[in-house]
Amino acid sequence: MVENELRRNTNELTTEWTINLQNIRNIRNNALPFNNLDIVNSIRSLKNRAPGASGIRKPYFSNLPPNIISNICHLFNCCYAVGIYPKHFKTAEIIMIPKSSTPTSNPEKYRPISLLNFMGKVFAKLINNKLIKHFENNNTMRDTQHGFRKKRGT
């Protein structure tokens, strides 16, 4: 019953969304490419949460040898250079979590949680770091912008 309700409500959301990184051409052209240390730091900064559809967890990435980190770095740099956010990185496994201790037979008493692939989270973290650095270095954020910024409370 819950599964049918979820399908009915999310069918219109399943069209493929693509992030077009070409819109940030100036940032890409002025930014240095990612390096192995960026990859390692991004992996370390992420929490060990439930895995996405790939089933691969953070500890697997935390123990990769340097040559594999270099390959991942090359992949991320290629994606960044051509402005592609791979579809696989956006694939999520949706699980339903009960909202409270109310009867679980009511589909409205669940909330969907999207579990994203860890490799996609690493790439997104790298992109986010580049954007924040660019915005802060070029004073393109208002001083009153406190949300989602380090050392600023909301």
Cα four-point dihedral sign 46, 95, 72, 24: negative
Question: H or E element: which one contains 92?
Answer: strand 92-98
Question: H or E element: which one contains 67?
Answer: helix 66-82
Per-residue pLDDT reduced to its tens digit, 121-134 = 999 999 998 888 88
Mean pLDDT, to the nearest integer, of 135-142?
82
In DSSP terms, 92 is beta-bridged to 116
Q: What is the DSSP string of 127-138?
A: HHHHHHHHHHHT
Average pLDDT of the residues of the chain: 79
> What is the pLDDT at residue 60?
92
In DSSP terms, 124 is beta-bridged to none
Contact between 120 and 137 under an 8 Å Cβ cutoff? The reply is no
In angstroms, the CA 24 to CA 11 distance is 30
Q: 42: closest CA among 24, 64, 67, 27?
A: 64
Q: What's the pTM?
A: 0.71
The pLDDT of residue 145 is above 80: no
> What is the pLDDT at residue 18?
45
In angstroms, the CA 10 to CA 89 distance is 19
Per-residue pLDDT reduced to its tens digit, 57-113 = 999 999 999 999 999 998 999 898 888 889 889 888 998 888 877 777 777 888 899
